[in-house]
Amino acid sequence: MRRARWILRPAPETARPVIYHCISRVVDRRFVFQADEKEKLRTFMRMYESFTGCRILSYCLMCNHLHLLLEVTPMPVGGLSDEALLERLKALYNEAFVADVARELTEARKQVATGLGEAAVLVGRIHERFTYRMHDLSEFMKGFMQRYTQWHNRTHERCGHLWEDRFKSVIVEDGVAAKTIAAYIDLNPVRAGMVTAPEDYRWSSYGEAIGGGARGEGGKARAGLVRALRCHKGAAVDVALWKGDVALEYRRVLLAGVGEKTEQMVSRSGAAEKTGKRKSMNADEIPTKQHVLREAGEKKMGEIPFGRMLRCRVRYFSDGVVIGSRQFVDQMFESARDRFGPRRRNGARAMRGDASAAAGMLWSLRDLRKK
């Protein structure tokens, strides 16, 4: 009997985001997602993002699996208004269906105005037919994956299961952990040798954000990455920050350890030491190890060993159960103490092996073998 998925319920009063790294693979690991399939996957992903109210912070659609960094937001206090519900329905249903629901709501509201007590219950039932699938991790993944499977089977004249098993999910702390996982996801095609630079892969959040152009096609991808880097403890974010320092900050993380311009920059720093003069760097240059970022955690993310780690397959990020600071992982452990045996005394486990570059900054709930 498989264990129930570990789900955190977002609380409106805390305003802190609940973030998951979700992974799902095709049955038999077959390479079935080509250009058309990836475009359809992204279309359905965005449809369910609009319908459920969840937010895609980062994603990558590979040839036989997908990665999502998903923020599950709480239902607005007091629920959705009729107008907000109808707007969300437009993401999944045709105009005729939405019009029928609108008429149902209008009739129910008229009865409420006449003082019929049951009418208010009727309005609530109309909302509940749809809202139970909103602001929920499992419902998002279930709807998104089933919708794509139906399209895929119909298009390729096949039947049966498409996905290997139920999707994996790892709870990710906001802040440094969310930024790290976002970069890890966007670097998937680089690790697989499909491209040499993450912006060259169009079916990823960074590729979409960079390739969107001035017309704003990449607006949702940019908004997601801004949230991944800035939604610390539920803080409000402005998408305009992408054009400020967020784009450069994220690129530093993605390109840390690549070696691009490194020798040139080292020679510059060496010359500066000899002459006593500092030479300014262009905004698009990769920072050296000595470059000081604004936060202590972000400083380590700019170091070459950390960048190299992101270009390796890190099992902790897919099987670690919870990823974050030591305090966060310990809190998650205490909140679900009954899920663990009596011998387990604490939650946080240090990362080892290929993930050792993150040791002391990120912790895992699961202690994985080095191999």
Which tens digits make up the pLDDT trace of 79-102? 999 999 999 999 999 999 999 999
**pLDDT at position 263:** 38
Name the pTM for this structure: 0.84
User: Is 172 part of any domain?
Assistant: yes
Domain shared by 266 and 301, yes or no:
yes
Question: In angstroms, rounded to a whole number, what is the distance separating the alpha carbons of residues 333 and 227?
Answer: 26
**pLDDT at position 261:** 40
Please say if the pLDDT value at position 262 is more than 90: no
Q: Tell me phi and psi for residue 187, to 5 degrees.
A: -90, 5
Q: What is the number of domains present in the chain?
A: 2
pLDDT band at 294 (very low <50, low <70, confident <90, very high): very low
Domain shared by 311 and 346, yes or no:
yes
In Å, how far are 30, 128, 294, 365 from 187, measured between CA atoms?
21, 39, 23, 24
Domain shared by 102 and 179, yes or no:
no
User: Is 189 part of any domain?
Assistant: yes
Residues with Cβ within 8 Å of 192's Cβ and at least 6 positions away in sequence, in order, are 62
Please say if the pLDDT value at position 274 is more than 60: no
Domain shared by 235 and 288, yes or no:
yes
**pLDDT at position 370:** 56
Convert the pLDDT of each residue in 160-218 to its tens digit: 999 998 899 999 999 999 999 999 999 999 999 999 999 999 999 999 998 865 455 68
Domain that residue 88 falls in: 82-131
Domain shared by 226 and 194, yes or no:
yes
User: Is 236 part of any domain?
Assistant: yes
Convert the pLDDT of each residue in 5-51 to its tens digit: 877 777 665 667 799 999 999 999 899 999 999 999 999 999 999 99
Domain shared by 67 and 86, yes or no:
no
| Sheet of strand 18-25: strand arrangement | 55-61, 65-72, 18-25, 168-172, 322-324, 363-364, 349-350
Segment 248-267 shows an average pLDDT of: 64
By the 8 A CB rule, do 89 and 98 touch? yes
By the 8 A CB rule, do 351 and 316 touch? yes
